[in-house]
Structure 1
């Protein structure tokens, strides 16, 4: 989606895959295609030897109790004890193989940086460039991108490895909103980043 891409420094880059979990993927009728593209991005990251980070949303009993009733997004999660941390629905989808050395963070709110130590763990590794992918475009991806931009990360968004229940919202975000803070690319563009 972008005409020219400046190659990344692979030692300073992380692929961040957000919320690719059985419990959330069910919202998307074409989740198999989305997972296949996520797998392609992951394979590229492994080949390029960049840091891989998996982010999942999951709640302990204590997390459920801590959700205030006025939180429009998460109050029902707490009330009905949804997305338990040990349940199959909150694990990273098994088609995305996790390996030793991958960063795995568990969050209890929308963005990958909120309620996690992700920023510290990335900075400790000298990472200043992020390639973001996940669901939903208007949720985890938007929140994470906004934080990343404010924290001065160089950021890319994989438009074909993100999805939203509202296709129009996805299009507006990837075509009009995200480009003000990130390079919006697709999986085929990744090879140009690692030359």
Structure 2
């Protein structure tokens, strides 16, 4: 792994919301590790980006019944844009200088202006953290790699309700498209 250029890097935190963190066994530990790298990224003047999943009433009614992930949300209030469970966890809430994108699909790029935002700032490297490894993280890794971003997945800053799936993705699926590192390695790389 080569050094991280803060001017060309974004730290992307995905789906750190009450509803998506609820099934994570060690959510407090995850949030603590993310907080450490977030502080280091902010100190190094790395762009910090938050991604959240939420639906307006119009978006909810437009969900296709064929969409196995989101169709069950059509008739519930879960992840309604203004609902408590769709809000960021207090330990991951955006600061005023940090950018927020709201999506209504799994990956961070789909249904957002994230790509334009990053390219407009000449960012070509992404540090990824968040939940679920088998959902938002997987979709974003694949999409970012296809868009020719340098992708760095912070393995201990991501989590999934299924630990075996998390490990398989980190060890077998992500490495051909991304560098997979831990928070300590990332802290060393961002400190210059």
TM-score of the two chains, using structure 2 as the length reference = 0.96
Partner of 2:83: 87
Partner of 1:193: 189
Alignment of 1:1-195 (within 5 A): 5-194=1-190, 195=192
1:60 shift after superposition: 0.4
Runs of 4+ in 1 over 6 A off after TM superposition: none
1:37 shift after superposition: 0.9
Q: Which runs of 5+ in 2 are unaligned?
A: none
1:97 shift after superposition: 4.2
Instruction: State the alpha-carbon separation in 1 of the partners of residues 2 and 66 from structure 2.
Output: 44
Q: Bigger shift: 184-193 or 150-159?
A: 184-193
Q: Deviations over 1:72-98 (max 9, x none)?
A: 110011122321101121112111242
Instruction: State the alpha-carbon separation in 1 of the partners of residues 99 and 21 from structure 2.
Output: 21
1:47 shift after superposition: 1.1
Instruction: State the alpha-carbon separation in 2 of the partners of residues 114 and 97 from structure 1.
Output: 22
Preserved CA contact (<8 Å) 1:7 1:192 = no
Q: Deviations over 1:69-126 (max 9, x none)?
A: 1111100111223211011211121112422331100000100001111101111111
Instruction: State the alpha-carbon separation in 2 of the partners of residues 119 and 137 from structure 1.
Output: 21
Q: How many residues align?
A: 191
Root-mean-square deviation (CA), in Å?
1.0
Q: Bigger shift: 89-98 or 23-32?
A: 89-98
SS in 1 for 2:11: strand
Instruction: State the alpha-carbon separation in 2 of the partners of residues 99 and 80 from structure 1.
Output: 30
1:192 shift after superposition: 2.9
Instruction: State the alpha-carbon separation in 1 of the partners of residues 93 and 82 from structure 2.
Output: 18
Preserved CA contact (<8 Å) 1:42 1:96 = no
Instruction: State the alpha-carbon separation in 1 of the partners of residues 62 and 169 from structure 2.
Output: 31
TM-score of the two chains, using structure 1 as the length reference = 0.95
Preserved CA contact (<8 Å) 2:14 2:108 = yes
